[in-house]
Amino acid sequence: MKKSLSALLIFAATCAIGQTKKKYNVQYDEIKADVQPTMWGVFFEDINMGADGGIYAELVKNRSFEFYKPLMGWTIKRDKFNEGDILVVNRKDENTANPRYIRVKANNAVNGSLSLTNEGFRGMGVKKDLGYDFSVMYRQKSPGLKLHTELVDSTGKVIGAGELSPSETGDWKKQSISFKSNATVQKAKLNIWFEGSGEIDLDMISLFPQDTWKGRKGGFRSDMVQLLADMKPGFIRFPGGCIVEGHELSTRYQWKKTIGPIEERQLIINRWNTEFAHRPAPDYFQTFGLGFFEYFQLAEDIGAQPLPILNCGMACQFNTAEVAAIDELDPYVQDALDLIEFANDSTDTKWGKVRAEMGHPKPFNLKMMGVGNENWGPQYVERLKIFTKAIKDKYPDFKLVNSSGTDPDGERFDYLNTTLRGMKADIIDEHYYRRPEWFLQNASRYDNYPRNGSKIFAGEYAAQSDKTVSVDNKNTLQCAIAEAAFMTGLERNADVVNMASYAPLFAHIDGWQWTPDLIWVDNLNSYGTPDYYVQKLFSVNKGTQVVAMTGDGKAIAGTDGIFGSAVVDRKSKELIIKMVNSNASAQNAEISLGGKVKLSKNGVVTVLSADNLNQTNSFQAPKAVSPQDKAIKISGGKVSLAMTPNSFNVIKIKML
Ligand code: AHR
């Protein structure tokens, strides 16, 4: 009896709190800052099978036999062993970028005598009635072998087939055929069996679906690009992340090796292949089918500014921490200068011409670049100064992003923050992989940052439901709400914070190394996490100017677990108010709206919430946590908002 009475009292008290209206004030003609078009962007890294096996739609793994085990991903089947019927040949002097190929010899081969099977990246996702383009590079001295290509399901049943009769002799040729799949299968395989007699060399054995983004041959998975395009990101940071640095300098990312004809791009091991002993990925390589040209093209497609991050002459400081000798830094600096030429300069220049030859004579309009990813210490500053001088001497208006290391606090951060500000860095990149509580407690981080001088790029952040690099991290509602709360602080300080991106972006359910991640995919499907919807809601509602929003005359930065910020959008003529309730109880807000322009009496509030703080999205319930719209009334210059527990609310009101 006593117990149920106290439960009743707690319930009554909760209701009373819920019924009290907290008062807030938005002065929508009091402009606080401009919102940069770059404000909310995306961070792309080939981690978690984000590129190879992910957005890059190639279905054949190890298509050019360059993995350290040349036949990794391939199985040879034969009715009887014939020595040398399939040989891995290395022609490294003739072709350094793509030295290996296979030589196939057969005599009177029939179905079942000799075949190759490729397992794909954790299988191949194929769709019923969709066309598939198979292509191969070949060279033959004694013609006569026909290639039968078959998609097979997990039982071995053929679900799509084609035939290819290499017709020419002489040097390497490429030949393609297309065929359809008659079934949808998550983990199909590709069989190639040989018929007839002859000897043929094969390389770049490839299979792409025809439903790629914009229908580009050899392109990207359209569902994954669409999720990015829907966010309307202001920028796309690429190619990472630690992948920029490499485990050692020889495996650093070198953009020049990622452009030009696909068969000339030299594959390297992906650093996430070996990074985590608890998540080994021995078949993880970078083929660079998604190379720098494609990154620029992707940025252009989705209306985002490109933000390449280049190696600064330092390998990952968690790994080898190798640095390039100062007197050998020139090639690294030259890569940066040449990249600007590649992206922006006339087609008469060496690198502008390469861009044009790849099909894009128009400039990509590159305005900024990062020098170094998570680098730190005086060794970084020493190298950064050399890069900065060389780039600014040639391109004075070009903006550079500088690293403040791996953490948003501590000795390394303090040293870099002070030093970079002293160097008048254009933009400082800060990273935060922290618990949700950190995000709630740090929503006012930038309220007292210097207003002049270096701008901030919140370049990598994600709330960790467990801890950094734990395999138990989940993309929960709690994490998303904490990020939304923090992001109101970024928005309020848009005069200081010019860019922000969640990290990492993609993860394949069967091939991930790092969690949490913004978007999860399998071989056929993709879904946005609650964090994705937070990012998207900020980005599609970024507005053009921050306006004054207060509670008790102060910034709304977490007192009572409520967070808020407001912008106006001069183009769409809207007032947009973002409010986060991080409490476990409902909260009522009354927001007074002050300003000269008349407001509509009807608005919309978009709410992201769920009953359970641990709720995630999944392939089974991809929209369990997703935005819901409700009508809202504006009356007497006020709007009342009933915020459900743990909710992110975006109010939009037309300015008449
Ligand atoms: O986003 C995953 C990794 O986290 C990035 O590669 C690195 O920059 C950071 O440590």
Judgement on whether residues 587 and 555 belong to the same structural domain of the protein: yes
Q: Beta strand 574-581 with 562-569: parallel, antiparallel or unpaired? A: antiparallel
CA distance 29 to 220: 44
Q: Tokens for 29, please give them.
A: 């003609």
Residue 509 lies in a domain: yes
Q: Which amino acid residue places its CA nearest to atom 7 of ligand 1?
A: 241
Q: How many Cα atoms within 13 Å fall on the side-chain side of residue 245?
A: 23
Judgement on whether residues 558 and 514 belong to the same structural domain of the protein: no
Judgement on whether residues 164 and 187 belong to the same structural domain of the protein: yes
For residue 241, the CA-to-ligand 1 centroid distance in Å is 5
Select which of 294, 374, 460, 483 is catalytic. 374
| Rounded to 5°, angle at Cα 91 from 90 and 96 | 105
Query: Which ligand 1 atom sits nearest the alpha carbon of residue 433?
Result: 4
Q: For residue 12, what pLDDT is reported?
A: 37
For residue 277, the CA-to-ligand 1 centroid distance in Å is 16
Judgement on whether residues 86 and 28 belong to the same structural domain of the protein: no
Out of 498, 517, 540, pick the residue that ends a domain. Answer: 540
Query: Which ligand 1 atom sits nearest the alpha carbon of residue 240?
Result: 6
Q: Which of 499, 506, 537, 510 has the alpha carbon at shortest distance from 627?
A: 537
Cβ atoms of 252 and 246 closer than 8 Å = yes
CA distance 629 to 55: 30
Domain that holds residue 162: 74-209
Q: For residue 19, what pLDDT is reported?
A: 60
Judgement on whether residues 151 and 254 belong to the same structural domain of the protein: no
Judgement on whether residues 517 and 621 belong to the same structural domain of the protein: no
Residue 601 lies in a domain: yes
Residue 62 lies in a domain: no
Binding-site residues, ligand 1, Cβ < 6 A: 45, 47, 240-242, 373-374, 406, 460, 503-504, 514
For residue 242, the CA-to-ligand 1 centroid distance in Å is 5
Q: Is 392 helix (H, G, I), strand (E, B) or coil?
A: helix
Q: How many Cα atoms within 13 Å fall on the side-chain side of residue 594?
A: 11
Q: Is 388 helix (H, G, I), strand (E, B) or coil?
A: helix
Q: For residue 556, what pLDDT is reported?
A: 98
Task: Name the DSSP class of 267.
Answer: P
Out of 540, 565, 591, pick the residue that ends a domain. Answer: 540
For residue 206, the CA-to-ligand 1 centroid distance in Å is 30
Residue with tokens 């993995």: 67
Q: Which amino acid residue places its CA nearest to atom 4 of ligand 1?
A: 241
Q: Tokens for 562, please give them.
A: 């409520």
Residue 66 lies in a domain: no
Q: What share of the chain is helix, strand, coil (3-state, %, to 5)?
A: 25, 35, 40
Q: Determine the residue of 47, 242, 251, 469 to mutate for testing ligand 1's pocket, defined as the one with the most ligand atoms within 8 A of the Cβ atom.
A: 242
**95 CB-near residues (< 8 Å, 6+ apart):** none
Neighbouring CB atoms inside 10 A of 571's CB total 8
Judgement on whether residues 331 and 405 belong to the same structural domain of the protein: yes
Q: For residue 131, what pLDDT is reported?
A: 98
Q: How many Cα atoms within 13 Å fall on the side-chain side of residue 503?
A: 28
Q: For residue 2, what pLDDT is reported?
A: 41
AA letter at 478: Q
Residue 532 lies in a domain: yes
Q: Looking at the DSSP assignment, which residues form a beta bridge with residue 399?
A: 368
Q: Looking at the DSSP assignment, which residues form a beta bridge with residue 164?
A: 147
Out of 145, 176, 209, pick the residue that ends a domain. Answer: 209
374 catalytic, yes or no? yes
CA distance 147 to 66: 22
Residue 140 lies in a domain: yes
Q: For residue 84, what pLDDT is reported?
A: 87
Q: Which residues of the chain have pLDDT under 70?
A: 1-19
Query: What is the total count of domains within the chain?
Result: 3
Neighbouring CB atoms inside 10 A of 527's CB total 20
Length of the chain: 656
